Structure 1
Amino acid sequence: ELKQISKSFGSVKAINETSFKINEGEIFALIGPNGAGKTTLFNIITGNYKPSSGSVEFLGERIDHLKPHKIVHLGIARTFQNIRLFSSMNVLENVLIGFNKQMKYNIFEAFLHLGRFGKIEQVFKEKAYAILEELGIAEFAYEKATSLSYGQQRKVEIARAMATQPRLLLLDEPAAGMNSSESDELAELIFKL
């Protein structure tokens, strides 16, 4: 829930006393022209920007003072207006990044591939692959993420956000760069979520 959120950048007021509440299970859209403040609101909700005034609450707790990684741990995930994939990683590896907070092994086990690391990694690879199947891009799991079409890269970013198992998923211009059939597929997926 956003309560009277305002955000200024110097003398420019990007957001002025905006309030709304998103209920569990609800699909909620922010619609407006470029420069209207939609991405700025996402940045405030996810802790990338602090509001100039007002508050953000999630699950009854005020979160506008928290760092972005703490907000992810609470169950809020997002995609970005401009795709942000790891260019040196394949599609599956990009999605696995989303599971980071759920993986329970220490750095020593991971570095030396000891103990339960291999078993845990396999479980999360299977989960990541299932998300890729759900989005219709599993066939590209071992391709470099940046070698895919723009619309497919957008789906990889959505898959990574889904891997965090969010209670609130923020999609910033999710259909940007997609053709009409990809946009229709995405709309169907959003309704299934």
Structure 2
Amino acid sequence: MAGWLAANHKSKRTDIDMGFTSSYKSGLDLMQNCDLPPPIKLFAGPVNKICSVAVQEVVDDEVLISKDSEDGKFEILKALRLSQTRAREAERKCSVLLKERDALSNLLLDESLRLFAYQQWVRLLEFQVSKLEREQRTESLKSDSGGIPRWEDYGEGSSSMKRYAAAAFCLAIAGMGLAIGCSYIF
């Protein structure tokens, strides 16, 4: 609660500067403690004292008022104790929930890292499988032609070579642009 008060308490100067003098009420004015009983109405003194009625009645009235005020103080202390107990329980629940949230976030992070590692592993395996399939195809082509590669075999690979060359050329241009851009920035 102290953090909330520090974060939400604004100075009067800021309120005046922003034009909130009449419409804005601070959070402290709006807060109410519902645990405490309603305030006891204090009786300053008996009216009988002014009229010079018997002193005994005045003493009896004061004793009743003091008993009522003691009962009121007891009720206030009891309500205060109850509100403090509730506040402590709320703090305990909050700390438990924070620990649970942190544990869940750590578990989620671990799970996402494992999932990412598995995805990378699957990609690596797929790459290895494609490489092995390509090697098997080239070996089967060599065995079909008697170990001597044919000119048509190179013709099929030339389109893929063109793609690789185009990709390398684009990456080279992008790299040069990056190098020139970094030299101007730094």
Q: Which interval holds the TM-score relative to the shorter structure?
A: under 0.3
Higher relative contact order, chain-length normalized (CA < 8 Å, sep 6+): 1
More helix by share: 2
Larger CA Rg, structure 1 vs 2? 2
Q: What TM-score do the two structures reach when normalised by structure 2?
A: 0.25
Q: What TM-score do the two structures reach when normalised by structure 1?
A: 0.24
